[in-house]
Amino acid sequence: MPLRFLTAGESHGQALIVIVEGMPSGLPIKEEEINHQLARRQMGYGRGGRMKIEQDRAEILSGVRAGKTLGSPIALKINNKDWDNWQKVMSSKAGSASGGDVAQDDSGQSKVVHHPRPGHADLPGGMKYDHHDLRNILERASARETAGRVAAGAIARKLLSEFEIEIVGHLVDLGGVQSTTDLAPKKIAEKAEASPLRTVDSKAEERMIAKIDEAKKNGDSLGGIFEIIVTGLPVGLGSHVQWDRKLDGELARAVMSIQAIKGVEIGMGFASAAHFGSEVHDEIFYQAKEKRFYRKTNNAGGLEGGMTNGENLVLRAVMKPLSTLYRPLQSVNIMTKEPYQATVERTDITAVPAASVIGENVVAFTLAQAFLEKFGSDSLKELRRNFEGFLKQCREF
């Protein structure tokens, strides 16, 4: 069975739970390494009130002993601090306020949601699951769930780092303000890490911040585009032989499934439509000393025929502006069918910097899946042997 993970948990429930299955044994992993990724997800100019309440920390409940993975399922728990304020509304106990029309918090304020937000899961989810309190949908649809995905990705990322595969994410557009760079991935990572918007172009950053302030003033939200670059990948992850083994498809699925993502492109992506083939495809050269093939351009974004080609993986994704608006859009009361303004829940003005961290970590998980499929093994030791054997085979090709 390949590497996989599942998450559970409502945004204002007790905790988020993650189970990662299929990690080989012998991988050193610490809670702090997972918590580092969780903290990165919480940052970013334009976040809302929730991130002031939470300080996400993963507790490893199983699958790790004395700092190393056992090969058994790894269970993680991330407590929601906000649960303290939501127990009465979110309790699983029969007879509590949950799910009924009397869902009130301690101050007596109703937490029932009857006015679906355009762009959110509220209306289709409510109709599909036959919930008339749309909180039963939004609690799970919330991007809070991505903390679980980041935690799973953090373990995958640690596995990849054992093989010197590194992942960098940065913002290239926020609300139409573009950030351009020709820096090397390592430098991009350093600069993005120091930026409140995870962007490397400080001039663009200033204009992005002004745009976020403008959106905040108007009760509005903003989207943007982030880019993920992966260095150190071997050739041959993924496969051309079957549709569901193509790595570009797997990466697109992982990234598209992040809340509010509306598009993914690899390498030159959509821009390649405006070019001749001779301008798009990356010519092939050979380095005799290192015994390796290489390219002088990387319009393919490191993927050809659904496989890594040994160049950097470059992927971009667009996030729509968040659908909860402090100045709400027109909606309908699902009970009375009368026109009503959409529900206003606490929200972020923008979360593209956070989405870029989530993107990095879901890409890490997908690459670790492909890596384990290619070099499949039960222990890190065996994995290393298979990996090195393949590199040798490539040099002798």
Task: Report the nearest approach of ligand EPS to the CB of residue 205 (Å).
Answer: 21
Helix (H) or strand (E) holding 73: none
DSSP state of 305: T
Residues 34-63, one symbol each (x = binds ligand EPS by CB under 6 A, - = not), give --------------x-x-------------
Distance, C-alpha 85 to centroid of its chain: 27
Query: Does residue 324 interact with ligand EPS by CB under 6 A?
Result: yes
Q: If binding is defined by CB under 6 A, does position 81 make contact with ligand EPS?
A: no
Q: Does 80 sit near ligand EPS (CB under 6 A)?
A: no
> Which one, 302 or 321, has the nearer CB to ligand EPS?
321
CB of 109 to ligand EPS, least distance (A): 14
* Nearest distance from C-beta of residue 14 to ligand EPS, angstroms: 14
Strands 303-304, 307-309: pairing kind? antiparallel
- With contacts defined by CB under 6 A, name the span among 98-106, 125-133, 211-219, 340-348 that binds ligand EPS: 340-348
Is 37 or 142 the residue whose CB approaches ligand EPS more closely? 142
- Least separation, in Å, of the C-beta of 361 and ligand EPS? 13
Question: 315: buried, middle or exposed (CB in 10 Å: 19+, 13-18, 0-12)?
Answer: buried
Q: Max CA-CA distance within the chain?
A: 75
Copy the structure tokens of residue 246. 């193509």
Rounded Cα distance, 314 and 126, in Å: 37
Report in angstroms how near the CB of residue 185 gets to ligand EPS at its nearest. Answer: 26
Q: Please, what is the end-to-end C-alpha distance for the chain in angstroms?
A: 30
Q: Which stretch binds ligand EPS (CB under 6 A): 32-40, 137-145, 230-238, 279-287?
A: 137-145
Kindly give, in sequence order, each residue whose CB lies less than 8 Å from that of residue 367, ignoring residues fewer than 6 positions away. 156, 160, 165, 167, 230, 233, 237, 251, 313
Q: Kindly tell me which of 85 and 377 has the beta carbon lying closer to ligand EPS.
A: 85
Interaction between residue 11 and ligand EPS (CB under 6 A): yes
The residues, ordered by sequence, that sit 6+ positions from 66 with a Cβ below 8 Å of its Cβ are: none
Does position 265 bind ligand EPS by CB under 6 A?
A: no
Applying CB under 6 A, does 144 fall inside the site for ligand EPS? yes
Q: Are strands 177-178 and 166-174 parallel, antiparallel or unpaired?
A: antiparallel
The residue written with tokens 């002993």 in the block is 65
For ligand EPS, the binding residues in 345-364 under the rule CB under 6 A are 345-348
Residue 108 makes CB contacts below 8 A (sequence gap 6+) with none
Residues of the shown chain interacting with ligand EPS in the complex, contacts defined by CB under 6 A: 11, 48, 50, 82, 142-144, 146-147, 322, 324, 345-348
